[in-house]
Structure formats: structure tokens, C-alpha cells
Structure 1
Amino acid sequence: MTNSNFGSKLSFSRRKALAISGALLLGPLVPELEFTPSAFAQTAEQTTITITDELGREVTLKAPIKAVYTDLWYQTEIVRAIGAGDAIVAIDQTSNPKKNAANKDYFAKFADLPDAGNFNGPNWETIATSGAEVFFTRRNAPWQDAIEKLKPFGIEVVVVSTWDPKVLRAQLPNLGKIFGAEKGAADLAQLYDDIEKLLAERLNGVEPKKVYFENNADFVTSLPGSGWHDTIVLGGGKNIFGDITIANTGSASVHTYTVDPVEIINRNPDVIIHNGVDGQASGYAPWDQELLAEQVQRVVDRPGWNSIKAVQDKNVFVFNNFFFSALGKQIGALAVAKWLYPDRLADVDVDAYFGRWLKAQGVEARPVAEYAYKLGD
């Protein structure tokens, strides 16, 4: 099999394929199996570097790497945004445009790459045979399994949760070094810092408004430890369920925590922000405004919700995660600030910042209005 982005892949005989399958099952028990990522990586001028990833793990690898498996669309976006998209040699199902029509154009470049399937339990053989030098993953992914399964093939594991704004910003210099894309990483860091500076200036002295964030399902919210919670805080809000702390074991619990609907009413948020529309996949393709409006109405029509301040003031928003999660959700934080404090950010054009992100992705800019809707608009 060949990959136009990365030259010729190795040809695996049936014997080698069986050996790989066995190695993935046995992990480090079969170190005698040698695997060369690619002919291109052999001839590229690389030097040994050691970086410290998000978890404090020291990872030594040859840089710049020329082949990477990105285990979620957040990871794919960041690698491409810093200018290293050609290094992606395998993807998971969320980065496969054939599996999400909303990203048909956005991820078209990766359509013919090997797909390792579900990001929570990927096909390790697909990754091992892809030619990847690095498994680029997140803290809420099976990174421990990846270390065990992929070590025999010389595939290093780098953990950077690119959905977490603060983690992403802290790790951008490392990503630049790993991929030999220091300029692209610095440009992305500048975009992040421009937003951070703006938020600090415009939100100085605000009394945080109470926000109920709902994540893709009725009465499901997000807690501290999730990027969603961070967007609320960075945007000048106060998560009404921010007082709930649970052990973050890497599971989805902090991202999708079910709450009592009566408690939502009792906590009386100033603003309600809902992620998602039933039946609509998040992606680059704009959402139907009628469907967004219908989702807003479904939220406000819940029994007893007419007593909530956010509903009374028509401060209810529904959005498409594609725009909100851009740049590790830093674009989302800016949108939250604009929604919560429209007077303070009256002259701030969120589209301008979002456009810089889309330019880094190599696609045409689109307005945030195509991905979000406010009650009463």
C-alpha cells in the first residue's frame, strides 16, 4: 500500500503480519521483531531529543518525526495547524472524512490513510503497520496500553491533551520541536496568546456570571478537569456545577456528568450553553439554523425552566463543537466571553480569530454564526 503523503509503506508478508499480531498481544515479550517505520524516516536527518509531555513523562525520540498516528480529531487538527500534516500516516475514525460527511472537505487529505477505528480501543495492528514513529494521544486515551503494545515496534507515546486549552498552550513548544515545526507552533501560540490577552483585558473586574453547560445530552454537564469547564472559567463565567469534584481517572466522567434537573433550576444560571443538536454530527459543514433553533426551544421548554434567569433573559445558546473546540477550546472561551459580556466585547470579532485558525487548517474561513444560535435570534 502506498501513501502519497509519506512515500512507500513497507510490504508485509503473511509471516510478518502474523508476527505483528503476536507482538501486539504479547507486547514486550517479543523484542526480537524489528520494525522500520519507513524508508523516508531512515534517510531524514534526525537528532535525538527528550521532551516532557503533559503527564510529566520524559520521552526520548528522533526529531523531527516524519510519521505520526493521531488518535483523535483534536490531535489531527493540531498537527496540521502547526504545518506537520504531511507526517500523519494513520488516523482514528473521528478524523476519517468517509465516516463523517460534515468533515468531507475538512479532512479530505486524510481520506485514504489507514483508519485504526475507535479511539478508546484502536486497532493496534493498523497503527503498528502504518509506519508511525509516534502515537500522539491524550490523557483520556488508552496511552498505557499504547506503551505496552507499540514498544516492540519502536513507536513512542507522547501524551498531550489537545482539547485542554492550558495544556495545549504549555506543550506547543514541544510539539514544534517534535515535528520540526517551530514556526507553525509559535504562530499557533501567538493566536492563543492574543485571545488570552484580550480576555484578561476585557474581563478585568467582572463579577462572573453563573453558567450551566450542557454537553450533548439532557442534564449532562462537565466538571473541573474537563476542557469544557475551562472554557467557562476562561470566558469569565462560573460553572454552576464547578463545586463537584471527582477523581479524574482518564474516563469521560468529568466531561459527561449527569445532574438532577431540579438542581439546575435551583442553581438558577444566568446563561445556558448547550453543545450539540440531535442527529447532527459536529464538523466543518455548517449546521441548519432551523435545527439549531429547534434545539434551543427544546431546552427552554423543559418543565419549570421558565423560572430560570437565563431563559427569562433569553441567554440560551446552542453550538456546534467544531468551532467551539478550535485551538484547544480557546476559541470557545472567547465565544463564551462574547456571549456572557456582549457589552464588554462589543467590538470583538470572534470570526477574525476563528478565521486565523481555519487558515492554519488550510480551509476557507466561515463565520461562527453558521455553528451557533442564540434564543430569540
Structure 2
Amino acid sequence: MSRDRVVTLLAMLGLVVTTACSAPEQPSEETPAQSITVVDDAGRTVEFDGPIESAVVANRYNSELIRAMGDIDKVIAVDANTAQDRVYWGQFDPDNVIGKGQSELNVEKIIELDPEVLILPRNGKVDEYAAALEPVGIKVLTVTGWDNGDFASQLEILGSAFDNEAGAEKVTEFFESTKVDIADRVGGVEPKKTVYWEYGDPYTTAIPETSNDGWHQMIVAAGGVNMFGDPTLEGDTVDPEQILATAPDLILKTTSGGALKNTGVYTPPADGEFASIGQEMIARPGWPELTAVQEGNVHMITGFAGGGLGKIVGAAYLAKWLYPEQMAGFDPDDVFSRWLELQGMELPEGHVYTVPATR
């Protein structure tokens, strides 16, 4: 090859290299977030542009599930029933809440906070809030954290919406394994023991398919029979005479302690409060003759403890009281403690109490 041809080829090669090196960089394309579609607990289809990054939440049970999953940092405000607990929910300002509870929310405040989504249970005013918020771009997602009859579904909704299926499955497994452990121990006991459960005001009880259905499911999970387990019953209170006629094996009172009515807080009731409520109960007409009263089978638990982990914490204590022989070696305090660990809290004393036997 001639010297001139070699020079020409080298020059051409240099031009190619220079051109390749100086070619403009192509802009990188970021993968857009995948949209997420969920069917919520009210049967509504809700679509998100991506995982939830900003939420306001009504109902303590929902907030607890979100925190146990590891996504509480995505919640910017809660309701007053939740924020009242300054020890348990110190990150939320009680002067910057979204309303009292799921049925008394402040739509204007929610719009001001401008979250991606409002999360509330199905016994809230779902359709009303959706009609007010969705036109301004705020989604409404129904999750019923107190529904222990369909607990796994509530976690599945949250896991999908926050794109945290692993966190949701961790909480579900804790619930299900505890429930199965209790059932394995007491499921075969016959006859099953009867329970009268009372919440708040005297003679207010757990009737299935009402807002207190979760407490009915707690009794069932503990292997008990709810003496007012007929879903056709009507009214806010029950007939005191029926309690005397049925003579339940065990009586359980759930109290709010120092919390707002029918809610719960981490701090246990003041010294003597359980005892005072218990003495009022066992002094009711006809109650001194009840075997449960005489034998020390009247128990008390706070709504905070009893409602923990879809009320499976309450079921653990109730099963231990109902069937001490079958539940030997099972420690309800351990269930309560593990649940509180998921909330970043330690186990406090004073959330359960047994009224002394009268004979």
C-alpha cells in the first residue's frame, strides 16, 4: 500500500473516531411510575398514579396497620380520635386534625392539607367525602382496620396502595398465626362458654353486622359464644333481664379509660378506675347472684388493648380467661407486646383487670 493511501485511511479513521466521540448524548428516559388500581373495602375501584406518598387517615385502627407495615411516614394528618393520644401518636398535631372521626371529617381542612388520598373505614361517610374530594383531585380509599372478620383483605388493600406487599403480609401473618394458635387450643372445646360483652355505656353490647361487629368477632375468635350474637337484634342497648336469665359464663367490659368515648389510648386507666367500674357492674340488680360474679369471671380490658391487631390481642386475653387449661403456656401479654413493637412502643401495665370474686 502506498504511503499516500495509508495517510488517507488514517485520516478517515480519525474523522470517524472524532465524530463518534463528539456525538450528542441521548437524553436518558426514566421509567414512569406504574399506576396502581385497587378495589377498596366499599367495593370502589380506586386508581393511583403510583404508590401513595401522602395520605390523611381517619380511624386509629387504620393508622396502626399503616404504621405496623412501615408506612406511617406517608401519613400527614389523622383524626382527633387518633391524635388525642399524645404518647402513642406524638408525631401528629391535635390542632391540625382532619376532624373528630370517620363520620365527622372537615372537608375544607383535608383540601387545605392537599394529600393524595383520604383513607377511612366503611362505617364513615365514604360516598359523601368522595363526592366532595375527588373533584379536587383527592382520592378516597376505604380500608376498615377494625374488621377482623376480613382482616387480610384490609392489609391487601393497603399493601397494594402503598406498594408494600411485604409489610402488609408481615402484619397479616402475625394476625393469622395468633388466631390459628388460639383456635387449635380451644376450637374443640364443648360446650363453648358464653360471654356477655359490654362497651362504654351500661348494656351496650356487640351485635353482629353492626359497628361493633369486630368485638363480636373477637369473642368468636376466642372460642366463646356471644350471648347477643343474633344479627337481627335491634336497638343500641340490650335487655338486662336477658343477662340474668342467660347467666353468661364470663362477663367482659371494654372501657375507654381516659380516652374519648369508645376509643382508646396507650396510657392505662388511672388507679382505681377499673375497680370502680367493676364494683358498679357487679352491684347491678340481680348481678350478685350471677355465677360469673361470684367466681371472679368478670374481666375488664381497655379499648386500646382489646382492639389491637384487629382485636386479636383482645381475643388472646379473652381465650385465656375463658379456657385457662387449654390456654396453658400461652401468654396474651406476649401478643400485646409484639404488636406494640410494630408500633415502636413498649408494653405498658394496667390495660386489663379482673374483678375479685365475691365468694
Report the TM range for the smaller structure's normalisation. 0.7 to 0.9
After superposition, residues 117-132 of structure 1 pair within 5 angstroms as 117-119=99-101, 120-132=103-115
After TM superposition, give the deviation of residue 108 of structure 1 in Å.
0.3
The residue aligned with 1:322 is 304
Aligned mates of 1:193, 1:359 — CA distance in 2:
17
What is the TM-score normalised by the length of structure 2? 0.84
Corresponding residue SS for 1:338: helix
1:168 to 1:134, Cα distance in 2 relative to 1, 3 A: farther
Higher mean Cα deviation, 224-233 or 57-66? 57-66
After TM superposition, give the deviation of residue 350 of structure 1 in Å.
1.1
Higher mean Cα deviation, 67-76 or 274-283? 274-283
Instruction: Indicate yes or no: 2:216 matched with 1:229.
Output: yes
RMSD: 2.1
Higher mean Cα deviation, 289-298 or 217-226? 289-298
Aligned mates of 2:99, 2:285 — CA distance in 1:
40
| Residue 374 of structure 1, aligned match among 322, 346, 354 | 354
The residue aligned with 1:16 is none
Confirm or deny: 8 A CA contact 1:289 1:373 kept in the other structure: no
Confirm or deny: 8 A CA contact 2:252 2:299 kept in the other structure: yes
Confirm or deny: 8 A CA contact 2:257 2:270 kept in the other structure: no
After superposition, residues 207-226 of structure 1 pair within 5 angstroms as 207-225=191-209, 226=213
Aligned AA (1:273): L
Corresponding residue SS for 1:273: strand
Corresponding residue SS for 1:285: coil
1:147 to 1:280, Cα distance in 2 relative to 1, 3 A: closer
Kindly report structure 1 stretches of 4+ aligned residues shifted beyond 6 Å.
Answer: none
Instruction: Indicate yes or no: 2:176 matched with 1:193.
Output: yes
| Residue 286 of structure 1, aligned match among 260, 263, 268 | 268
Aligned mates of 1:110, 1:311 — CA distance in 2:
42
Aligned mates of 1:167, 1:285 — CA distance in 2:
29
The residue aligned with 1:73 is 60
1:89 to 1:217, Cα distance in 2 relative to 1, 3 A: same
Aligned mates of 1:357, 1:84 — CA distance in 2:
16
After TM superposition, give the deviation of residue 216 of structure 1 in Å.
0.7
After TM superposition, give the deviation of residue 278 of structure 1 in Å.
6.4
| Residue 47 of structure 2, aligned match among 45, 60, 63 | 60
1:188 to 1:277, Cα distance in 2 relative to 1, 3 A: closer
- How many correspondences in the alignment? 320
Confirm or deny: 8 A CA contact 2:267 2:348 kept in the other structure: no
Q: Identity over the aligned pairs, expressed in percent?
A: 34
Corresponding residue SS for 1:314: coil
Unaligned runs of 5+ in 1: 1-42, 248-252
After TM superposition, give the deviation of residue 176 of structure 1 in Å.
1.2
Aligned mates of 1:76, 1:347 — CA distance in 2:
31
Higher mean Cα deviation, 180-189 or 62-71? 180-189
| Residue 265 of structure 1, aligned match among 232, 241, 244 | 244
After superposition, residues 135-284 of structure 1 pair within 5 angstroms as 135-206=118-189, 207-225=191-209, 226-245=213-232, 257-276=236-255, 282-284=264-266
After TM superposition, give the deviation of residue 312 of structure 1 in Å.
2.2
After TM superposition, give the deviation of residue 44 of structure 1 in Å.
11
After TM superposition, give the deviation of residue 113 of structure 1 in Å.
7.5
Confirm or deny: 8 A CA contact 1:71 1:137 kept in the other structure: yes
Aligned AA (1:220): T
Aligned mates of 1:44, 1:224 — CA distance in 2:
48
After TM superposition, give the deviation of residue 174 of structure 1 in Å.
2.4
Aligned mates of 2:258, 2:318 — CA distance in 1:
24
Aligned mates of 2:126, 2:63 — CA distance in 1:
16
Confirm or deny: 8 A CA contact 1:219 1:260 kept in the other structure: yes
Aligned AA (1:165): N
Aligned AA (1:275): T
The residue aligned with 2:322 is 340
After TM superposition, give the deviation of residue 245 of structure 1 in Å.
1.8
Higher mean Cα deviation, 282-291 or 87-96? 282-291
After TM superposition, give the deviation of residue 182 of structure 1 in Å.
2.2
Aligned AA (2:308): A
1:284 to 1:262, Cα distance in 2 relative to 1, 3 A: same
After TM superposition, give the deviation of residue 184 of structure 1 in Å.
1.8
After TM superposition, give the deviation of residue 366 of structure 1 in Å.
2.8
Unaligned runs of 5+ in 2: 1-29
